[in-house]
Structure 1
Amino acid sequence: MPTDPLERIVETAFDADVRSCRRPHSGSVAETAVLELENARGDVPRRLVCKRGGASIWTGDAIESAVLRVLEQRSDLPVPGVLASGKIVGERGSARETDPLERWACYEFLEGTNPGPGYATLEPTVRRRLVADAGAHLGRLHGTPGLEFDRVGGLARGENGTDLVLCEPTGWHAVDSDTLREQLPISVPPTGDSGRRPVLTHGDYQPSNLLVDDSGAITAVLDWGNAHVTHAEYALARAEVRFVDSYVGRLSRAERRRLRSLFRAAYARYAPLEAGFDRRAPLEKLRWVAQSGSNYARLLGDSRGRRQLWRQFRRLLE
Structure 2
Amino acid sequence: MIVVACPGQGSQTPGFLSPWLELPGVAERLAAFSEAAQVDLAIHGTQSDADTIRDTRIAQPLIVAASIIAAEELERRAGRRPDGLAGHSVGELAAVALAGVIGAEDALRLVGVRGRAMADAAARAETGMSAVLGGDQDAVVARLQELDLTPANYNGGGQIVAAGALPALAALAEEPLRGTRVVPLQVAGAFHTAYMAPAVEALRQAVAGVATSDPGVTLWTNRDGSTVADGARALELIVDQVASPVRWDLCMASFTEAGITGMIEVAPAGALTGLAKRGLRGVPAVAVKTPEDLDAAVALLNGEA
Q: How would you bin the TM-score normalised by the shorter chain?
A: under 0.3
Q: Which of structures 1 and 2 has the larger relative contact order (alpha carbons within 8 angstroms, sep 6+)?
A: 2
TM-score (norm 1): 0.25
Larger Rg: 1
TM-score (norm 2): 0.26
